[in-house]
Structure 1
Amino acid sequence: MDERTALVTRRGETYGGRSREERASDRRERILDSALHLFGTRHYDDVTVAEVCAGAKVSKRYFYEHFADRADLVRALHRQQNKWLLTGVAAATPESPTSLDEMLQPAVRRLLDMLRANPERAKVIYINAPRMETRRRGVLREDAQFLAHLLRRVGTHPTNELRYERMLLALVAGLSEVIIDWLSQGMVEDPGPLADHLTDYCTAVLQQL
């Protein structure tokens, strides 16, 4: 539970058979669901707090109990959606791969399949939320750490930690740019060839580590 929601629920009042905590959590999820649809189908600057509240069927008062402003909402939404994406990718990755290709191919293919099947989520993760530069940088670092965790499955042990961290950061930044280009073109290209190209790119970089 986020800090704002926790603050709202501390009074412990029950209404209609549901605790304050349950009602607050439900409102927060409805706000995030509404935001996912709006920011996943429209430009960031075109979406207002009032529209998010209308879609969630909550008042602005309740919105500001959970989020400081629109940017705070998008940051929370992006964290939620990026976690969903990375969890799916991790699940598709073999626990004990024998090679980089065996690890990367299913991971990259799952990444693209999830994005193609969920265009609203894809737009939030790669198009709208990255407009906030600070959040974009933070996500790239989180994704680089996620990749480092996966690489431990193939026994990768860097001898130069700083070089290793920078190479992984450059790698995920490059992946993101190619994916953004694919999304911007409507994801019309079959993900198979793209997955192969991105796997080749990752392998070429990682073999230098």
Structure 2
Amino acid sequence: MGAPKLWRGRTLDDRSAERREQLVDVGVDLLGSGGSAAVTMRAVTRLANLSPRYFYENFDDRRALVIAVYDRLETELRTRLSAVAPDTDPQGTVRSALEICATYFEEDPRRARVLLREPLTDDTLREHSAGRLPLFLRTVVPALGDDMDALLPNSEEALVISATALSGALVALYVDWIDGRLPVPRDRLVDAATEIVLSLARTGTQPRPGDPESDIVEP
């Protein structure tokens, strides 16, 4: 088999990959600035200065592009969180992870809209994340390492309840902060977010009345 054909030193696959990244770049700007309604094939190709042919070369429809934008930003955040080393104190581990989240959103508020706000209202992103743990648990929990079991609820039901409560609280906290409705320094925001995580985790691990553990009487 011969070598791949080159055009200005690049293969056809290279050029296709570059066009895809260019389209996703534009998608980040549109979705992060104007929401899902702003992401149309015409708007994307116009801003990318590409023909519709190249859009459909990479994406079946606008929904596929919206998902690609979300996945790119989530992967970026996960990569940053992978650098968090588990601390001997679980609170330190959680705080480090949540500070990374705050910094990531502060650097570019469009990221917060894509990862936090749009999944609440956009059917495509809601469906895309259905069946998975909410964003903050899917990012904070892996960062906990060996401390994870000590902080997570010990039943499936408690996990679902805590995950829903935790996600809602943290999304509201970070979105209000990014939008300027919560005018506090980043350190204060991270302290509050950390306390929310640890408080809900402690609540989830406590036995409820009627549970076998709650019937144990200490001597």
Q: Which TM-score band applies after superposition, normalised by the shorter structure? A: 0.7 to 0.9
**Any residues of structure 2 matched to 1:33-112 within 5 Å, and which?**
33-91=25-83, 93=84, 95-112=85-102
Relative to structure 1, is the Cα distance of residues 190 and 136 closer, same or farther in structure 2, using a 3 angstrom cutoff? farther
2:147 is aligned, of 141, 154, 159, to 154
Q: Classify the secondary structure of the residue corresponding to 1:58.
A: coil
Whole-Å separation in 1 of the counterparts to 2:127 and 2:88: 37
Query: Gapped runs of 5+ residues in structure 2?
Result: 206-219
Do the aligned residues in 2 keep the contact of 1:74 with 1:129 (CA within 8 Å)?
no
Whole-Å separation in 1 of the counterparts to 2:40 and 2:182: 27
Instruction: Encode CA deviations 1:111-149: one digit per residue, 9 max, x unaligned.
Output: 111101112222222223542321343564465344332
Relative to structure 1, is the Cα distance of residues 139 and 120 closer, same or farther in structure 2, using a 3 angstrom cutoff? farther
Q: Which amino acid aligns with 2:146?
A: R
> TM-score, structure 1 length as denominator?
0.80
Query: Gapped runs of 5+ residues in structure 1?
Result: 1-11
Relative to structure 1, is the Cα distance of residues 195 and 146 closer, same or farther in structure 2, using a 3 angstrom cutoff? closer
Q: Classify the secondary structure of the residue corresponding to 1:156.
A: helix
Residue of structure 2 in register with 1:19 after alignment: 11
| More deviation, 120-129/137-146 | 137-146
- CA shift at 1:79, angstroms? 0.7
2:197 is aligned, of 184, 196, 202, to 202
Do the aligned residues in 1 keep the contact of 2:30 with 2:38 (CA within 8 Å)?
no
Instruction: Encode CA deviations 1:51-88: one digit per residue, 9 max, x unaligned.
Output: 21122221111101111221211111101101111221
Whole-Å separation in 2 of the counterparts to 1:167 and 1:99: 25
Q: Which amino acid aligns with 1:39?
A: L
- CA shift at 1:184, angstroms? 3.6
Do the aligned residues in 2 keep the contact of 1:148 with 1:168 (CA within 8 Å)?
no
CA RMSD of aligned residues (A): 2.6
The structure with more radius of gyration? 2
Whole-Å separation in 2 of the counterparts to 1:43 and 1:155: 34
Whole-Å separation in 2 of the counterparts to 1:48 and 1:41: 13
- CA shift at 1:38, angstroms? 1.9
Q: Does 1:31 align with 2:23?
A: yes
Residue of structure 1 in register with 2:176 after alignment: 181
1:117 is aligned, of 87, 103, 107, to 107
Q: Percent identity?
A: 23
- CA shift at 1:187, angstroms? 6.9
Residue of structure 2 in register with 1:8 after alignment: none
Q: Classify the secondary structure of the residue corresponding to 2:88.
A: coil
Q: Which amino acid aligns with 2:175?
A: I
Relative to structure 1, is the Cα distance of residues 45 and 109 closer, same or farther in structure 2, using a 3 angstrom cutoff? same
Q: Classify the secondary structure of the residue corresponding to 2:33.
A: coil
Q: Which amino acid aligns with 1:148?
A: V
Q: Which amino acid aligns with 1:182?
A: W
Instruction: Encode CA deviations 1:74-107: one digit per residue, 9 max, x unaligned.
Output: 111101101111221332x2x2311221111121
Whole-Å separation in 1 of the counterparts to 2:137 and 2:162: 5
